[in-house]
Amino acid sequence: MTSFPLNDDSVVVIIGSGAGGGTLGTELALKGVKVVILEAGPRIEIEDFINDEWASFAQLSWSDKRTTSGSWRVHKDFPNLPAWIVKAVGGTSIHWAGASLRFQDHEFKARTHYGNVEGANLLDWPITLGELAPYYEKAEFKMGVTRTNDIPGLPGNNNFKVLEAGATKLGYKEVHTGRMAINSRPRDGRGSCQQIGFCFQGCKSGAKWSTLYAELPKGEDTGNLEVRPESHVLRIEHDGSGKVTGVVYADSNGKHQLQKARVVCVAGNSIESPRILLNSASNQFPNGLANSSGQVGRNYMRHTTAAVFGVFDKPVHMYRGTTMAGIVRDESIHNPERGFVGGYEFETISVGLPFMAAFLDPGAWGRKFTAALDSYPNMAGLWIVGEDMPQETNRITLNKDIKDKFGMPVPNVHYDDHKNDISMRNHAYKQATALYEAAGATHVYQQTPYPSTHNLGTNRMSANPQDGVVNKFGQTHDIKNLFVSDGSQFTTGAGENPTLTIVALAIRQADYIAGEMMKRTI
Amino acid sequence: MSMQGDHHTSPDDLDRRRFLKGSALLSTSMFIVGTALIHPGEGWAVEATGLKPATMQTLIKMARDIYPHDQIADKYYAIAVKGYDQKATQSSDIKTLIEKGVAQVDQIAKERHNRVYTAIIDESPRVEILHVVEGGPLFTMLRAGLIVDLYNQKELWPLFGYEGESASKGGYIRRGFNDLAWL
């Protein structure tokens, strides 16, 4: 395994090894660029994954202390767990379900199409679907997305059958088993889906794409990539000219280390990435790095989410097979006649009994609640994922009152639903309920949103440096050799799952960084 | 607290439980001898060390009333709350919180029904008492603990039709992932 010295200032240092950082690091290594990835979590391989919800949660999830505020339900139910994301090599690409949808043309131009939505800090992306399309193609090929590149769709499981029956009866047209980065047949040295379930707990067959085993080893094989686990980044350092020069992290023994760097890329997910920039404040940058716009940490988005479970008089066993086994796309349009801007997808979801108990209606008890759990085998489930509005006041800030074990302020996540978010969720609840009733449901449960896996927007892309943190290549407006490489660079959230877009942007960013390094502009 | 005796619920036990259900015997199906709480119907006994055995009995009953499932034997509720007995031996704060909380529950039960909580035969008056204390520290701790410690017992999962771990069995690709035929 390659190992670069701490004082090697020729390396690109990437903070985080998930869909953004892991892809970027591998792509750069394949181009001959020397890369050190600092990953806060341990390296946990496929054979270590656990088909057990709570045990897996303890093994994989980011459980460092965080605080919350705002009127969102998560603040009440899970005050110290705003997000359900992973702290391990591979990041949340271990946990994601695999749904790989391109954003739509109008979603890159949200401000233009949605207009001036009161209270929303909408902005058009500085790139178009046309500009990103070649990179979407590369990402789909790399990840082996079904229904692209002549890769067949996955077979539908029981949960999908119910979704499809209800959706078809409601008149929905675009209903299928999704575009999934899960092998429907062996590909890229990985086998095909065994319908294990437990996609959220790490795919034990390796059929689902994750940077852990589908990207990083390819980068490491070049000799140009070192992945350094249990390296928890505290701050980024800079010199008097305003260029970043290195990254300070706590190693597995808690000892502080300084890794020098030619370029630094932040890919720690949308809570940790702005936290690192804010925690890197200096005399020269008193409000944090790359924050001349004041937008670092702002416009936090989490998608307008919720789940709906239909109960039937016969068994479904929704947990058998892929978690996100099918999709309905008809509502993923911009049609303000529905009472809101933007659109949403329905995607099947399943959880095991332990998480159904914990998340169905947090805090509920008594016979009404237990009757729901008693109907568990007869449940079918879907997840709503829709575009939420960026709001300046929804933001990550440093909680100066609470320090982590390294003495750094913990992040506070503030979120209030925008009224557009509420209208969209209510519309989706109504449609999902109708869908399951059309399939014969005897009862439908509308579940409240739980901790976010789609965390977006807190270092957003903008054409104008005053409106955001990074340019269309994820390069910070303020500091040329500092980049953002995760979902925090999203200008708006769109209605689709974010991973494919994160990967496409990372591939594009790798081209840009390698090119700029060649030109010696960075 | 340690669990003793036969932890396996036989079909006979379940039949007996169904027979007893609704009868006065159900609520007195546990009794106390010294520091032991004995459940002859299910064939188990527990030794209370940090809490009073009557307190353990009340916690088990409260656990069932918070998350009532008629198909689940008392022993699973006992397993879900047995950790509090151990915690009470380690923390006087926890011990006080639980003993005071249970005393309050019994106090309300006596005022309303002239008997302790576990001696109230019908479920609904007990649940009404729980509604009185549901904002309090004992209920809050008990409910939050149960949501994991009850539903995360693998032995219970088959009773809910949940099959648990599947990777070692080759997933469901040949075991019914798409066997639904009733639509």
Domain boundaries, chain A: 12-519
* Residue A31: per-residue pLDDT: 98
SS3 A119: coil
How far out from the chain centre does Cα A344 lie?
16
pLDDT at B25 over 50: no
Q: Which residues in B lie closer than 8 A to residue A369 (C-beta atoms)?
A: 67
Rounded to the nearest integer, the mean pLDDT of chain B is 89
Bridge partners (DSSP) listed for residue A484: A266
In tens, the pLDDT along B97-135 reads: 999 999 999 999 999 999 999 999 999 999 999 999 999
Residue extents of the structural domains in chain B: 2-156
Rounded to whole angstroms, how far apart are CA atoms B9 and B14? Answer: 7
Q: Which residues in A lie closer than 8 A to residue B151 (C-beta atoms)?
A: 353-354, 357-358, 373
Rounded to whole angstroms, how far apart are CA atoms A208 and B46? Answer: 46
B177 touches chain A (CB under 8 A): yes
pLDDT at B10 over 50: no
Rounded to whole angstroms, how far apart are CA atoms A275 and A82? Answer: 14
Rounded to whole angstroms, how far apart are CA atoms A157 and A8? Answer: 51
Task: Check if the beta carbon of residue A202 is closer than 8 Å to that of residue A95.
Answer: yes
Closest residue of B to A367, CA-based? B68
How close A168 gets to chain B, by Cα (Å)? Answer: 12
Out of B71, B147, B164, the one facing A357 most closely (by C-beta) is: B147
In CATH terms, A12-519 corresponds, of 3.30.300.30, 3.30.360.10, 3.50.50.60, 3.40.50.740, to 3.50.50.60
The answer to whether the Cβ–Cβ distance between A352 and B166 falls below 8 Å is no
* Residue B29: per-residue pLDDT: 83
The answer to whether the Cβ–Cβ distance between B148 and A54 falls below 8 Å is yes
Rounded to whole angstroms, how far apart are CA atoms A80 and A118? Answer: 30
A252 touches chain B (CB under 8 A): no
The answer to whether the Cβ–Cβ distance between B164 and A321 falls below 8 Å is no
The answer to whether the Cβ–Cβ distance between A195 and B172 falls below 8 Å is yes
Out of A161, A195, A376, the one facing B183 most closely (by C-beta) is: A161
Out of B134, B160, B179, the one facing A376 most closely (by C-beta) is: B160
**pLDDT one digit per residue (tens) for chain A, 522 residues:** 899 999 999 999 999 999 999 999 999 999 999 999 999 999 999 999 999 999 999 999 999 999 999 999 999 999 999 999 999 999 999 999 999 999 999 999 999 999 999 999 999 999 999 999 999 999 999 999 999 999 999 999 999 999 999 999 999 999 999 999 999 999 999 999 999 999 999 999 999 999 999 999 999 999 999 999 999 999 999 999 999 999 999 999 999 999 999 999 999 999 999 999 999 999 999 999 999 999 999 999 999 999 999 999 999 999 999 999 999 999 999 999 999 999 999 999 999 999 999 999 999 999 999 999 999 999 999 999 999 999 999 999 999 999 999 999 999 999 999 999 999 999 999 999 999 999 999 999 999 999 999 999 999 999 999 999 999 999 999 999 999 999 999 999 999 999 999 999 999 999 999 999 999 999
List, in order, residues 6 or more apart from A263 with CB less than 8 Å away: A12, A13, A244, A481, A482, A483, A513, A517, A522
Task: Check if the beta carbon of residue A21 is closer than 8 Å to that of residue A486.
Answer: yes
Task: Check if the beta carbon of residue A456 is closer than 8 Å to that of residue A493.
Answer: yes
* Residue A1: per-residue pLDDT: 83
Rounded to whole angstroms, how far apart are CA atoms A436 and A164? Answer: 10
Neighbours of A4 (CB within 10 A): 18
Closest residue of A to B150, CA-based? A354
A157 touches chain B (CB under 8 A): yes
The answer to whether the Cβ–Cβ distance between A376 and B162 falls below 8 Å is yes
Neighbours of B40 (CB within 10 A): 11
SS3 A316: coil
Bridge partners (DSSP) listed for residue A475: A483
Neighbours of A194 (CB within 10 A): 23
Out of A194, A374, A378, the one facing B69 most closely (by C-beta) is: A374
Q: What is the pLDDT confidence band of residue B20, given thresholds at 50, 70 and 90? A: very low
How far out from the chain centre does Cα B71 lie?
12
A46 touches chain B (CB under 8 A): no
Q: Which residue has the higher pLDDT, A495 or B12?
A: A495
pLDDT at B14 over 80: no
Bridge partners (DSSP) listed for residue B32: B37
A79 touches chain B (CB under 8 A): no
